[in-house]
Amino acid sequence: MTVITRFAPSPTGTLHVGNLRTALHNWLFAKRHGGRFLLRIDDTDAERSEERHIDAIRADLAWMGLAPDAEERQSARFDRYQERFAELRAAGRVYPAYETAQELELKRKILLGRGLPPIYDRAALGLSDTECARLEADGVKPHWRFRLDTSAIEWDDLVRGPQRFDPAAMSDPVVRRADGSWLYLLPSVIDDADMGISHVVRGEDHVSNTASQLQMFAALGAQPPRFAHEALLTGNEGKLSKRLGSLGVDHFRETGIEPQALLALLGRLGTSDPVEPFVDAAPLIESFDFARFGRAPARFDEAELAAINAKIVHQLRFDAVRDRLPDRMTAAAWEAIRPNLTSVGEARDWWSVVEGPIESLPAEEDRAFLAEAAAAAAMIDWSADPWAQLTSALKEGTGRKGRALFLPLRLALTGREHGPDMAALLPLIGKERALERLGAST
Ligand code: GLU
């Protein structure tokens, strides 16, 4: 069997971290099995779908490195939906219903008031042709429902295990509005069947949709895909928070998060595998397996993401980041500075420390020591580990050691108390600037 997955966002807004995770898992699963990963734009809702959101979705996937093998668009397939809808209608699996939203709401309230589940009573199925014709002559346009049949609905979910639904406890779902526009359920099934989707990977908020959709596959004579419904993400507060819903690629990029960090975290979150700072997606792909996913909500923690991000930045090669670094910054400089970064953007800051100017105000009691340091720095061989030479000369000459030896030097040379390894930094600062900084301090 060829594995084909699809990520099917509705372009009514920007992708949030939960969507990004769904996209990633679809991609990982397809890659794991040498399959294909489709991007399907669910833009049946013409009013709420916007071109700019589609562009943003493509850009977000590109940033994450999740290149779709093909892109499909529901708005280009309305004729096909009409065709299959006509078949279902002829077979009596979709039927017109004429209730207004208010009438349906009233029915719901009455049932709930009696302590009964608010299941649609199928009153529309009882209408005769004449009654339907009369309603339509009066200008009432029907919406359309899919008629569920009575056989029990079962599937073995790749994450949730065996699932069973009783159609008697479900309402016939509305699949088409009175204005002819499509709701999500049926077009999705028609697409999944036509596009040979082998695995539908999505959030557990779709579980009850799957129950209806399985009957639609059967009614269309199509083999249903396998389903994996993943537990939703929660924020630190323990709930699917507003904040989580607002976190998208723009936010991550602005805060210096690398796509690899997002992949590393979202690829493993909710699984029994540890989150590891993979710079390359290969190990994530190899280990991706729905059997490793738990059913408990997975907690997305921005602090964990930042920590993974730092570990990834520490591994990034110069070539991979060069176009985001200051022009004159070299590979040696990147390697010296990298271990101190939590984001690539901070390299600019450290590079400005290297290039200067810097500000440092030495303590009174260090002035004589720094004058000696300036003299020593003029003598050493700058082509071979100048920091080791400088500090050992000063250790011998002044008797200082440890913090008393290193800190005044670091402060005078960088203007800061902490930072990258001085042995790596000093050659970048170079003789001229070092002499100037040490001299200026005296
Ligand atoms: N457009 C649907 C959504 O964004 C797709 C769900 C699915 O994957 O089938 O929720």
> What pLDDT, in 10s, does the model give residues 341-392?
999 999 999 999 999 999 988 888 999 999 999 999 999 999 999 999 999 9
pLDDT at position 246, please?
80
Q: pLDDT of 165-216, one tens digit each?
A: 999 999 999 999 999 999 999 999 999 999 999 999 999 999 999 999 999 9
Average pLDDT, the chain: 95
Beta-bridged to residue 226, according to DSSP, are 199
Ligand 1 center–CA 225 separation, angstroms: 15
Q: Letter for the amino acid at 72?
A: E
* Residue 213 contacts residue 185 (beta carbons within 8 Å): yes
Report CA(19)–ligand 1 centroid distance (Å). Answer: 9
Q: Which helix (H) or strand (E) holds 117?
A: none
Q: Kindly indicate the confidence band of residue 239, based on its pLDDT and cuts at 50, 70 and 90.
A: low
Domains in the chain: boundaries: 4-79+186-232, 88-176, 242-313, 318-355, 364-440
Bridge partners (DSSP) listed for residue 234: 299
| Mean pLDDT within 221-225 | 98
* CA of residue 333 to ligand 1 center, whole Å: 46
Nearest CA to ligand 1 atom 5: 8
Of the candidate ranges 231-245, 308-322, 386-400, the one whose mean pLDDT is the lowest: 231-245
Residue 438 host element (H or E): helix 422-440
Percentage of residues of the chain with pLDDT beyond 70 = 98
CA of 243 to the centre of ligand 1 (A): 21
Q: How far apart are CA 348 and CA 143, in angstroms?
A: 59
Atom of ligand 1 nearest to the CA of 192: 9
pLDDT at residue 139 greater than cutoff 70:
yes
SS3 96: strand
The stretch 37-66 carries a mean pLDDT of 97
- CATH for the 242-313 domain, from 1.10.1160.10, 3.40.33.10, 3.30.565.10, 3.30.1370.100: 1.10.1160.10
Cα-based torsion angle of the residue sequence 46, 48, 51, 57 in order, rounded to the nearest 10 degrees = -120
- Report CA(41)–ligand 1 centroid distance (Å): 9
* 442 has pLDDT over 90: no
pLDDT digits (tens, 9 = 90+) for 150-178: 999 999 999 999 999 999 999 999 999 99
Mutate to test the pocket of ligand 1, among 7, 12, 16, 42 (most ligand atoms within 8 A of CB): 42
103 forms beta bridges with none
Residue 439: band (very low, low, confident or very high) from pLDDT cuts 50, 70, 90:
confident
pLDDT-above-90 percentage for the chain: 93
DSSP state, residue 202: E
* Residue 410 banded pLDDT, cuts 50, 70, 90: very high
Q: What is the mean pLDDT of residues 87-101?
A: 97
Q: Looking at the domain that runs over 4-79+186-232, which CATH code has it been given?
A: 3.40.50.620
For residue 240, the model assigns a pLDDT of: 57
Question: What's the CATH code, domain 88-176?
Answer: 3.90.800.10
Which residues contact ligand 1 via a Cβ below 6 A? 8-10, 42, 184, 188, 202, 206
Q: What is the pLDDT of residue 94?
A: 98
In ligand 1, the atom with minimum distance to the C-alpha of 8 is 5
- How far, in Å, CA of 45 to CA of 181, rounded? 7
